[in-house]
Amino acid sequence: MNALIENAKNIVFDVGQVLLRFEPKEFLPRMFPADIAQRLMPPALFGGDLWLRMDRGDFSAEECARLITEKEGQPELMPYELEFMLNFAKQMSLLPPAHLVPELKKMGKKLYIISNYGIETFAATQAQFPELFSQFDGMVISAREKLIKPDLRIYQLLCDRYGLKPEECVFIDDLYANVQGAIDAGFQGIHYTGPEAIA
């Protein structure tokens, strides 16, 4: 086990690509006919600035799906974009850090989540993996707070809400900028690039 994890009092996880696999290019062909899946493939349709604004709580999944497809000049894809947003959790699976969670609980670690997620998309993900999320002592979800990583305030909010000391926390994220944000807020940080990052 990574020494930072072993020595930290509090372990703070991101969700997508850390606890749960999120690969739209794999999920889309499973969810839609081939022609629709192909048209939904451009990254702007499942990422980009508008998706981030949904994660920040600026608008709902339905509003986001409409804005994205209109921006891309394909408003007829709106129902499929929305269906993807509300149902991609059914295609997700556990990644190695999620399998580590029960062991960390047994070691007496406190477990938390800071994740950039929309209101509806996180609700669907939480409903899909109730056993995983039930093991956490607290969560800060970006859309609920109108804050998004790597804004230092989102890390400070976790500490304030749950009475944590930043120096006693290690934060694990697949995006280096988010790890750096946590480090700037006083946390230890691990850039998750695969199982070896937590070994």
Residues 70 and 97 occupy one common structural domain: no
- Burial label, 35 (beta-carbon count in 10 A; 0-12, 13-18, 19+): exposed
| CATH code, domain carrying 157 | 3.40.50.1000
pLDDT for 114 equals: 98
pLDDT, tens only, 13-59: 999 999 999 999 999 999 999 999 999 998 888 888 999 999 999 99
- Of 32, 63, 90, which one is at a domain's C-terminal end? 90
162 has a pLDDT exceeding 90: yes
Distance of alpha carbon 150 from alpha carbon 37, whole angstroms: 31
Asked whether the beta carbons of 130 and 31 are under 8 A apart, the reply is no
Domain end (from 90, 106, 130): 90
Write down which residue in 68, 90, 112 finishes a domain.
90
> What is the predicted pLDDT for the residue at 46?
83
Q: Are residues 48 and 113 in the same domain?
A: no
pLDDT at 79 over 90: yes
Per-residue pLDDT reduced to its tens digit, 127-154: 999 999 999 999 999 999 999 999 999 9
pLDDT, residue 170, reads 98
Q: Are 44 and 105 contained in the same domain?
A: no
Q: Are residues 28 and 11 in the same domain?
A: no
152-162 helix and 176-184 helix, angle to the nearest 10 degrees: 60
Look at the pTM and tell me if it is higher than 0.85: yes
Whether residues 76 and 119 fall in one domain: no
Q: Give the phi and the psi of residue 19 in degrees, each rounded to 5.
A: -85, -40
Distance, CA of 13 to CA of 101 (rounded, Å): 10
Q: How many C-beta atoms surround the C-beta of residue 106 within 10 A?
A: 8
pLDDT at 35 (0 to 100): 95
Our count of domains for the chain comes to 2
What DSSP designation does 20 have?
A: B
106 and 160 inside one domain: yes
Q: Residue 145 corresponds to which tokens in the numbers above? A: 């707070």
Which residue range forms the structural domain that includes residue 137? Answer: 3-22+93-197
